[in-house]
Amino acid sequence: MSEDLTGRRLGHYKIDGVLGRGGMSVMYRATDVRLGRKVALKVMGEHITGDSEFRERFVDEARNTSALDHANIVPLYDFGEVDGMLYIAMRLVDGSDLASLISEGPIAPNRAVELLGQVAEALDTLHEQGLVHLDLKPANVLVTSREASHEHVYLADFGLTRRGATGHRTSTGDFLGSPTYAAPEHLRGESVDGRTDLYALACMLFACLTGSAPYKGEVQEIIQGHLQSEPPRVTSRVVLPPAIDDVLRRGMGKTPEQRYGNCKDLVSATRNALSPLGKQGDQPPRPAPPEAPPSATQSPPSGPHPMSSGPVPPQAQPQHSPQPQPTAPPGTPPGGMAPPGTRPGAGGPGTPAGRGAPAGPPPVGAPGQPMPPGGPQGPGEPVRLRPPMPAQSASFAKKSDSTARWLVPVLAISVFTVIVVILIIAFG
Ligand SMILES: Nc1ncnc2c1ncn2[C@@H]1O[C@H](COP(=O)(O)OP(=O)(O)O)[C@@H](O)[C@H]1O
Ligand SMILES: [Mg+2]
């Protein structure tokens, strides 16, 4: 999406610059000329103003944000429409987002606990109101040190937030969002609840402590990791008390039942696990020494690169072009490959190039932008996907069926040839 309203007026807002860009909307720094105050102004992309589903989503986002009154949730100021363009005005957070902080390397454990503790407070409030954020990732966590003597955190971006336990899907049944921090049940299209966000919070904790997300690589590898691989050990990447591995294993449990009861419990367990560090926890952790290679008899490692082996179900492939999708309605059991499609406008950079930085190039995969063959690049990129099949999926069964189809005639020909040879030897 290349639109940039910088320098223009939108109602009583003067647009001063771009803060971040998604495929569905652009976040601007703006001035409310009536009050003379600076705001963050999220404007729905011009290219989707005619799409009723996305208009509804945008209205939902405004409603959800305004319904949430919490010190760690970005306060909404205004919502409206000018020339068919919907906008949301909110508090301008003068700082950085967690994605930018993590991009500089591991964060000091005491600081990570403090920042994520505030995210947990916001999330538990959201969950108590029956909402699930469903797009929890470092780019949606804003951090500022200009509002208080300590760092203050705001949870942002309620564009995918949903009420109740219904799976999060478009009308055509696609997953929307970033798979990097997405829980297995969310990727599968099963029902979601607060524990779905808790899983994402645990992944963010992993990223804060180690400097990178737990599962890396192509979109398919990331999904495979969430669905099937043991959570990698934090201590295989950085030097920290081993108890943190147990906390992450529980926080990133494959099923919601295995996880903590709420987000604050995850953060308390983290605080306890890291307490032996004391003042040392004010420094970023050191990289862990390389591990000895596993012996031949050991099972595959759950270490740093757990998902590099094995095929990825083709259903987990990102969908690449924006055509409409003649698919089964949401709730239909995950099926075969869907025709391609991207989240209209969701291909934006998961991590803006720095808040206040000038706008980058149009997002990969955004409407009108070709998606590279390997899918969206970089962690945190939002994608639109068909729900992936479980490991024992029909796609694998199909593979062995086709093997069986060519094995039968080959075996028949071989047996026939052997009989003919025996007959020639016997009677010739
Ligand atoms: N209230 C705010 N103040 C300052 N910057 C913000 C604010 N809200 C969001 N941003 C920045 O803009 C980016 C995009 O905003 P977001 O609401 O997440 O939109 P999108 O739906 O496109 O991801 C965020 O990642 C963050 O860096
Ligand atoms: Mg966002």
Predicted pLDDT at 352: 34
Predicted pLDDT at 69: 93
Taking residues 92-105, report their average pLDDT: 97
Predicted pLDDT at 170: 64
pTM of the model: 0.73
Sheet holding 96-97, edge to edge: 96-97, 141-144, 152-155
- Taking the CA of residue 95 as reference, the ligand 1 atom at the shortest distance is 4
Q: How many angstroms separate the alpha carbon of residue 382 from the centre of ligand 2?
A: 9
Asked whether residue 402 carries a pLDDT value surpassing 60, the answer given is no
Interatomic CA distance for residues 10 and 207, integer angstroms: 38
Predicted pLDDT at 165: 60
Predicted pLDDT at 427: 73
Taking residues 14-37, report their average pLDDT: 95
Most confident listed range (288-302, 339-353, 404-418): 404-418
Q: Which of 259, 124, 265, 132 lies closest to 199 in space, CA to CA?
A: 259
Predicted pLDDT at 30: 98
Q: What is the pLDDT of residues 324-362, one digit of tens each?
A: 333 333 333 333 223 333 333 333 333 333 333 333 333
Q: Are 23 and 367 a contacting pair, CB within 8 Å?
A: yes
* DSSP track, 305-365: -TTSSS---GGGSBP-S------PPTTSPP-SPPPP---TT--S-SS-SSTTSPP-SPPTT
Asked whether residue 82 carries a pLDDT value surpassing 90, the answer given is yes
pLDDT bin (cut points 50, 70, 90) of residue 212 is: very high
pLDDT bin (cut points 50, 70, 90) of residue 298 is: very low
The alpha carbons of the chain give a radius of gyration, in whole angstroms, of: 25
Q: How many angstroms separate the alpha carbon of residue 20 from the centre of ligand 1?
A: 6
Predicted pLDDT at 171: 64
Q: How many angstroms separate the alpha carbon of residue 140 from the centre of ligand 1?
A: 6
Predicted pLDDT at 343: 35
Q: Which of 195, 98, 175 lies closest to 137 in space, CA to CA?
A: 98
Candidate from 1, 16, 19 with most ligand 1 atoms within 8 A of CB, to mutate: 19
Predicted pLDDT at 428: 65
Taking residues 67-82, report their average pLDDT: 95
Q: What is the pLDDT of residues 369-392, one digit of tens each?
A: 333 333 333 445 566 665 443 333
Is residue 193 among the annotated active site residues? no
- Domains, the chain, ordered by start: 1-92 (3.30.200.20), 94-284 (1.10.510.10)
Asked whether residue 51 carries a pLDDT value surpassing 70, the answer given is yes
Predicted pLDDT at 368: 32
Within 13 Å of residue 6, how many CA atoms lie on the same side as its CB?
16
Candidate from 101, 157, 381 with most ligand 1 atoms within 8 A of CB, to mutate: 157
3-class SS of residue 201: helix
Interatomic CA distance for residues 287 and 235, integer angstroms: 9
Asked whether residue 365 carries a pLDDT value surpassing 50, the answer given is no
Predicted pLDDT at 43: 96
Q: What is the pLDDT of residues 124-174, one digit of tens each?
A: 999 999 999 999 999 999 999 988 889 999 999 998 998 866 545 566 667
Interatomic CA distance for residues 98 and 182, integer angstroms: 17
Residues with CB under 6 A from ligand 1: 19-20, 22, 25, 27, 40, 42, 74, 90-93, 97, 139-140, 142, 156-157, 159, 348, 352, 355
Asked whether residue 413 carries a pLDDT value surpassing 70, the answer given is yes
Q: Where are the beta strands (DSSP E) in 25-66?
A: 25-32, 37-44
Please pick, among 135, 157, 174, 245, the residue that the annotation labels catalytic: 135
C-alpha distances in Å from residue 282, one per residue of 160, 211, 411: 34, 16, 68
Amino acid at 276: P
* Percent above pLDDT 70 for the chain: 69
Interatomic CA distance for residues 388 and 30, integer angstroms: 40
